[in-house]
Amino acid sequence: MSLARYSSGVMAITKSRIEKNLRRITENIESACRRVGRSPKEVSLVGVTKSVGMPAIKGLLDVGVLDLGESRAQELSQRGAELRMHLQRRRNQLRGPVRWHMVGHVQRNKVRLVLEVADVIHSVDSLRLAEAIDDRADRMERNVDVFLQVNCSEEPQKFGVPVGAAAHLGELISTMRNLRLVGLMTMGPLVDDPEKARPTFTRLCELFVDMRKDKIGGDAFRDLSMGMSQDYVVAVEEGATILRIGTALFE
Ligand SMILES: *Cc1c(COP(=O)(O)O)cnc(C)c1O
């Protein structure tokens, strides 16, 4: 799918608007959970900031969203550095640490850049990339939480390992010293009707259940990163534990 930036670029947005959006999203998550008998506590949200500027990012922190996501290495790196300077002034006012999530495709030559900022990478989709991350993390003497990105909708242009190859790759990743395989990630097809994304999410959840049965990743393997502004309600109904939401927070 196209990871093009939103054309609006840096837009002015107030904290109260973000707060209102977050409240609406939270209510939607809660009612989706009620419909399928899940606890809303199982579901958390990464605020994807690629379409907004620093004021909106600070607004997110103000309303308590401390998990932030970017989809491009260069921007992750810039925002990470900028926010770090900002936080040095106000860390004690936050509920906890800010965590950066890399949600977009990672080229191997950008792994170093990404690891300077990211705590979590949602988009590991090849053995070579996993090895490159493990190797760099080793040199940095740190661990990295990673998701295996799976292409469940069989759109040829999309990133992600095919469903049939996921368990094997997951097994290999889970043996890497500096990586912690924390779950699976997928992107729904780009469609206007969120119902059309449901089979994609169902398939990821089935794969997840199978891999857990096989004990791949052990206890750490417990999250399903799926659902964006368009389709997060359906994703929650199908078992998502981490939603990656941008537009709906900032509209
Ligand atoms: C942009 C992006 C999101 C958030 O998309 P919205 O439609 O703005 O909610 C989530 N995941 C990935 C990988 C993205 O690139």
Residue-wise pLDDT for 132-173, tens only, equals 999 999 999 999 999 999 999 877 667 999 999 999 999 999
The alpha carbon of 139 and the centre of ligand 1 are apart by a number of angstroms equal to 30
Nearest to 239 by CA among 22, 47, 69, 33: 33
CA distances from residue 45 to 69, 165, 168, 217 in whole angstroms, order as listed: 10, 28, 28, 22
Q: For residues 76, 160, 248 and 180, what is the CA-based torsion angle, rounded to 10 degrees?
A: -60
Question: Has residue 237 got a pLDDT over 60?
Answer: yes
Task: Name which residue sits closest to atom 6 of ligand 1, judged by CA.
Answer: 246
The alpha carbon of 43 and the centre of ligand 1 are apart by a number of angstroms equal to 17
**C-beta separation of 202 from 4 below 8 A:** no
**C-beta separation of 28 from 233 below 8 A:** yes
Residue-wise pLDDT for 71-114, tens only, equals 999 999 999 999 999 888 875 678 889 999 999 999 999 999 99
One-letter identity of residue 176: M
Q: What does the block give as tokens for 209?
A: 């259940």
Pocket test for ligand 1, best of 45, 49, 228, 251 (most atoms within 8 A of CB): 228
